[in-house]
Amino acid sequence: MFYINVWLTVNRDEDVDRVRDLLAEMAIGVREEPGAERFAVYRSTTVPGRFLLNEHWRSQADWEMHREGRMCKEIYEPLILPLVTREPHICQLVG
């Protein structure tokens, strides 16, 4: 398994709802991609412009294929990334 958590912080308050809606749309498509074991989007209740992407992929190759797929190329890269600061963390499952 390949695990990655990505913190996204929306740069401007007026873009928070747009980013939320785009992430919700993206999540539906990503969950259908080959190798996607889990793709969950969380929104902080204490910092409304902060989101966590929790991703579990069957393999790193599946994750890399996802990065070249439609959801990344049509939603994430052109529409979400310009509005956020991204902090990715490749992880190991501890327990």
| CATH number of the CATH domain containing 79 | 3.30.70.100
- State residue 83's pLDDT score: 98
Supply the mean pLDDT for the chain. 97
Inter-residue contact 5 to 91 (CB < 8 Å): yes
Residue 95's pLDDT band (boundaries 50, 70, 90)?
confident
pTM for this prediction: 0.93
Domain membership of residue 95 (yes or no) is no
CA angle 52, 30, 87 (to 5 degrees): 30
Domain membership of residue 94 (yes or no) is no
Per the rule left: phi > 0, alpha: psi between -120 and 50, beta: everything else, 57 is beta
Q: Domain of 23? A: 2-89
Q: What whole-number distance in Å separates Cα of residue 19 and Cα of residue 84?
A: 8
How many domains are contained in the chain? 1
Q: What percent of the chain has pLDDT over 90?
A: 99
- What are the pLDDT digits (tens) for 66-94? 999 999 999 999 999 999 999 999 999 99
User: What average pLDDT does the segment 41-69 reach?
Assistant: 97
